[in-house]
Structure 1
Amino acid sequence: MQISMMDTSHIHTRQDFVVLLQAMHRDLQCNPSDWGNTALLDFLEALIRYAEDIPHYYRNTGQAVNADNASWRVFADMLLGARIYE
């Protein structure tokens, strides 16, 4: 499965999150052109913006996720979003 198509609804534990990080690492190595933010500085800037905007993502996609409640899934969604967020 492509990282861009990954469903994060199954990410509940630290180990699930580690698996996601491993997949993201492989994806960046194999498909850097799919990432809008390959430099750490760009990625972190996008992560900040995405973390601020993620409640809108959940609302716009009809997901009943409270982004103010920290969870492995919310962290995963933030990282995945920061890959391409502008």
Structure 2
Amino acid sequence: MSSEDAGKWENVSTSDFLGALAAWLESADCFYKNFNRETSSEKPSWQLFADALQAATIYE
């Protein structure tokens, strides 16, 4: 297990995490638009990947 506190995660099971990951990716464009960020979910990037993984830990 990583040194990060897993107790802060909402989606601790693999199925919950993957479900949250998919849901966040579907709404990623709204996230980027709301925060005036230039990253787009239409173009794969490392930033999109990092944001998606981080968001999936807590996204409901």
Normalization by structure 2: what TM-score? 0.89
The one-letter code matched in structure 2 to 1:79 is L
8 Å contact kept, 2:39–2:47: no
Q: Which runs of 4+ in 1 moved over 3 A?
A: none
Shift of 1:26: 2.8
Question: Structure 1, unaligned stretches of length 5 or more?
Answer: 1-24
SS of 1:26's equivalent in the other structure is: coil
Q: What is the root-mean-square deviation of aligned Cα atoms in Å?
A: 1.0
Q: Quick one: distance in 2 between partners of 1:42 and 1:66? A: 24
Q: Quick one: distance in 2 between partners of 1:53 and 1:26? A: 29
Superposed, 1:17-56 pairs within 5 Å as 25-27=2-4, 31-56=5-30
The one-letter code matched in structure 2 to 1:65 is T
Question: Structure 2, unaligned stretches of length 5 or more?
Answer: none
Match of 2:42 in 1: 68
Match of 2:55 in 1: 81
Q: Quick one: distance in 2 between partners of 1:68 and 1:76? A: 15
Q: Quick one: distance in 1 between partners of 2:10 and 2:29? A: 21
Q: Quick one: distance in 2 between partners of 1:26 and 1:43? A: 18
Q: Percent identity, aligned pairs only?
A: 34
Q: How many residues align?
A: 59
Shift of 1:65: 1.3
Offset from partner CA, 1:31-71 (integer Å, 9 cap, x none): 12210001101000000101101111111111111221001
